[in-house]
């Protein structure tokens, strides 16, 4: 049914771009406020990033970004609706206006940023591409993969990095491409391919979906830079600013030691000027963003700071148990750094 859907998405894009009157900048925010919720494009099922639990609730880091935007904007993190999208459908869905934010482990590249009418608002997760193989093959390094059949998800940067890596190392491979990441996992398990390649975070997530996760290992090589982040339509700066500063606020909150547990206390009693500015006790910094004065309080109260989000979804508090690594704060040896709110 997904083909039908992706064709539909494309057809809708064509129709939307053809029929809609000239879209003017700044309409996304007005439209979102008017309809009363944020429409958020997420993945079609990736533990830790965006997936549904047994009761149909969406969970994950990508999901939390959208909840955060809703919390900042409406003061209510539940005012968001999710559209699961395959890798192939995602950009057309955003371009056509079907979703307001695309928060779907999407890699920031120049061609996507400049050529597709999209803007990346920041980096929620610094990732890199790796390989998942069966232990039975006895492979310990990606350099031993010459001649392997490799399962990949179609329409991703993964597909391009894979070909670059094998070409650069003078090796051959057979690409086996599927639209959904679930299908790639099933194909690996069935033996249609020898290796599954994807962003490392996804590999950990996909590994726990296997019947016997212990029989598979993630190879040590990381063959690419994959900064993943939320995407919005280009030319709508107001909306872009809101999504971008929601991310920055999450990181700043962690840096300033603001957590979902203490945020309300700090908002009343903190003497730290950085904290006071961010939480609206001093100045009117939400106003420039067209957000309520206490937007950051609602944001951190309802989704936590960046560190809480990370640990809850992909870190030690989750099944994935991924180390912070590159995603630690800049003052803890990582890359997560946010400009100040002032």
Partner 1 sequence: MQNPASGPSVRGSMMTDPKVRAWAFQLIAIAAVLAAGWYLFHNTQSNLAQRGITSGFAFLNNSAGFGILQSLIDYTESDTYGRVFVVGLLNTLLVSVLGIAIATVIGFVIGVARLSPNWLISRLAAVYIEIFRNIPPLLQIFFWYFAVLRAMPPPRQSHELGETVFLNIRGLYLPSPGAGEGLWPFLIALAVALVASVVLVRWARARQEASGQRFPVSLGVIALLVVLPGIAAAVAGNPFVWTVPELTGFNFRGGWVVIPELVALTLALSIYTAAFIAEIVRSGIQSVSHGQTEAARSLGLRPGHTLRLVIIPQAMRVIIPPLTSQYLNLVKNSSLAAAIGYPDLVSVFAGTVLNQTGQAIETIAITMSVYLAISLSISLLMNWYNKRIALVER
Reported as half-sphere exposure (CB side, CA atoms, 13 A), residue 189 has a value of 15
User: What CA–CA distance (Å, rounded) separates 221 from 55?
Assistant: 37
The minimum distance between CB 328 and partner 1, in angstroms, equals 32
Q: Which is nearer to partner 1, 147 or 340 (CB)?
A: 147
- 173 near partner 1, rule: CB under 8 A: yes
Q: Which is nearer to partner 1, 90 or 298 (CB)?
A: 90
Q: Which is nearer to partner 1, 118 or 228 (CB)?
A: 118
User: What CA–CA distance (Å, rounded) separates 329 from 136?
Assistant: 38
The minimum distance between CB 215 and partner 1, in angstroms, equals 14
List 52, 83, 116, 210, residue binding partner 1 (CB under 8 A): 116
The minimum distance between CB 147 and partner 1, in angstroms, equals 4
Binding window for partner 1 (CB under 8 A); candidates: 168-176, 254-262, 264-272, 330-338: 168-176
**Interacting residues of 15 by C-beta distance below 8 A, sequence separation 6+:** none
- 267 near partner 1, rule: CB under 8 A: no
Binding window for partner 1 (CB under 8 A); candidates: 55-63, 73-81, 174-182, 218-226: 174-182
Asked if 91 contacts 98 with a C-beta cutoff of 8 angstroms, the reply is: no
CA distances from 131 to 138, 221, 229, 279 (A): 14, 8, 22, 42
**Interacting residues of 98 by C-beta distance below 8 A, sequence separation 6+:** 9, 12, 39, 41, 83
- 18 near partner 1, rule: CB under 8 A: yes
- 183 near partner 1, rule: CB under 8 A: yes
Q: In terms of C-beta distances under 8 Å and separation of at least 24 residues, what long-range contacts does 337-341 make, across chains too? A: 337/251, 338/247, 338/248, 338/249, 338/250, 338/251, 338/252, 338/255, 339/248, 340/252, 340/274, 341/245, 341/248, 341/249, 341/252, 341/274, 341/277, 341/278, 341/285, 341/296
Binding window for partner 1 (CB under 8 A); candidates: 36-44, 58-66, 71-79, 84-92: 84-92
Q: Which is nearer to partner 1, 194 or 255 (CB)?
A: 194
- Coil/strand/helix, residue 119: strand
- 83 near partner 1, rule: CB under 8 A: no
Binding site for partner 1 (CB under 8 A): 2-3, 6-7, 10-11, 13-14, 17-23, 87-88, 90-92, 95, 111-112, 114-118, 137, 145-149, 154-156, 159-160, 162-164, 167, 173-179, 183, 190-192, 194, 233-235
């Amino acid at each position: 049914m997904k083909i039908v859907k992706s064709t539909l998405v494309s057809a809708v894009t064509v129709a939307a771009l053809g029929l809609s009157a000239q879209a003017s900048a700044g309409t996304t925010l007005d439209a979102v406020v008017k309809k009363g919720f944020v429409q958020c494009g997420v993945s079609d099922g990736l533990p830790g990033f965006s997936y549904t639990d047994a009761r149909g609730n969406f969970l994950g880091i990508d999901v939390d970004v959208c909840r955060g935007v809703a919390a900042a904007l409406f003061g209510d993190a539940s005012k968001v609706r999710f559209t699961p999208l395959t890798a192939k459908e995602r950009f057309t869905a955003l371009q056509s206006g079907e979703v307001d934010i695309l928060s779907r482990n999407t890699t920031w590249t120049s061609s996507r940023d400049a050529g597709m009418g999209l803007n990346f608002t920041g980096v929620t997760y610094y990732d890199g591409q790796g390989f998942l193989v069966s232990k039975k093959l006895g492979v310990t390094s990606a350099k031993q993969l010459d001649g392997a059949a490799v399962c990949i998800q179609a329409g991703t940067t993964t597909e391009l990095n894979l070909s670059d890596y094998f070409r650069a190392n003078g090796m051959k491979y057979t690409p086996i491409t599927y639209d959904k990441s679930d299908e790639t996992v099933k194909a690996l398990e069935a033996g249609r391919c020898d290796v599954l390649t994807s962003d490392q975070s996804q590999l950990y997530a996909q590994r726990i979906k296997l019947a016997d996760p212990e029989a598979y290992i993630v190879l040590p090589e990381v063959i690419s830079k994959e900064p993943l982040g939320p995407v919005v339509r280009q030319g709508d700066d107001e909306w872009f600013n809101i999504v971008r500063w929601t991310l920055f606020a999450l990181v700043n909150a962690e840096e300033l030691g603001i957590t979902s547990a203490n945020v309300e206390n700090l908002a009343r009693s903190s003497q730290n000027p950085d904290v006071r500015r961010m939480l609206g006790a001093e100045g009117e910094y939400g106003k420039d963003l067209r957000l309520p004065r206490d937007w950051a309080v609602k944001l951190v109260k309802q989704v936590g700071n960046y560190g809480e989000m990370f640990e809850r979804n992909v870190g030690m508090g989750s099944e994935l148990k991924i180390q912070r690594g590159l995603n630690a704060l800049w003052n803890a040896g990582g890359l997560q750094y946010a400009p100040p709110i002032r």
